[in-house]
Amino acid sequence: MKRIKFIAVILVASVTVLSIGCDDSHQHPGRIYMPDMAYSRAYETYAQHDSALFTVDPTDKGRKIFYNSKPAEGTIKRGELFPYPLAKDTNNYKISGTVKSPLDSLSRKDIAEAGRLFNINCAICHGEKAQGNGPLGTSGKIGAIANLTLPNYVAMADGTMFYSVTYGKNQMGSYASQLTRLQRWEIIKYIRTLQTKPGGATTTAAGAPAAGGGKDSSTVKKG
């Protein structure tokens, strides 16, 4: 009899230990009040969403979850410059020269990066030296490629040049989707280093002597 009681006690103790060891209630706290906030849903770029749950139609917001993959209106990406103040408009183009570049100067590293971006995005038409003789400019397939070293472009204000790069002008399309605002302003600074200034001097890339006996500089000053 004592043996049976002993075995029973051992069995009860074993079951208790096992039940405690296998208890994962701390991992499953039960019903969650707001599961979408507790467990965020990750979205793959260009992934298809369940049309029964999501909608891109603003008029259907109340019945489904509205999600159009666009940033919230009025927000600015971290590290991005403030938006260009002028919308695409003929009159705004005329006054675009009043918009000043937010960049007074560029470091050697920044001007080198701006040159790299220029060669990737601009040199195909405008040429490595911005003289309008890039591969597309000399192919005969696209006409009226601007020679950015001509006096009228040297005299063009930074804000007007930025307007053209942002919205497109004549044969050139907009580069707002390819380049951030900062990159567009930096490329304009780089273009200034390729242009001849009045009197025959040129603005210089960081550390390069200017034509006509200019001195070495660690930055590119505003043109």
Q: Is residue 216 part of a domain?
A: no
Is residue 186 within 8 Å of 117, Cβ to Cβ? yes
> Which of these ranges, 22-36, 43-57, 67-81, 138-152, has the smallest mean pLDDT?
22-36
- Is a pLDDT exceeding 60 seen at residue 73? yes
Task: Evaluate whether residue 94 is within a structural domain.
Answer: yes
Q: Residue 222: what pLDDT?
A: 42
Answer whether residue 212 is part of any domain. no
Per-residue model confidence (pLDDT) at position 111: 94
- Per the domain annotation, does 144 fall within a domain? yes
Report if residue 1 sits inside a domain: no
Rounded to whole angstroms, how far apart are CA atoms 193 and 220? 8
pLDDT tens for 92-103 read 999 999 999 999
Give CA–CA dist 84/98, Å, rounded: 12
pLDDT(47) > 60: yes
Q: How many domains does the chain have?
A: 1
Instruction: Using the predicted structure, report yes or no on whether residue 124 has a pLDDT greater than 80.
Output: yes
Q: Is residue 9 part of a domain?
A: no
Going by pLDDT thresholds of 50, 70 and 90, the confidence category of residue 43 is low
Residue 216: the pLDDT is 37
pTM of the model: 0.60
- Overall average pLDDT of the 40-58 stretch: 73
CATH for 184 = 1.10.760.10
Angle, vertex CA 69, rays to CA 186 and CA 92, nearest 5? 45
Q: Quote the DSSP letter at residue 112.
A: H
The DSSP bridge partners found for residue 145 are: none
Is there a domain that residue 127 lies in? yes
Q: Where in the sequence is the domain holding 180, given as residue range(s)?
A: 90-197
**Where does the pLDDT of residue 221 fall: very low under 50, low under 70, confident under 90, or very high at 90 and above?**
very low
In a domain, 191, yes or no: yes
Computed on alpha carbons and rounded to an integer, the radius of gyration of the chain in Å comes to 31
What mean pLDDT is reported for the chain?
Answer: 77
In one letter, which amino acid is 100?
K
Residue closest to 169 by CA, chosen among 144, 133, 201? 144
pLDDT in tens, 160-203: 999 999 999 888 889 998 999 999 999 999 999 999 765 554 44
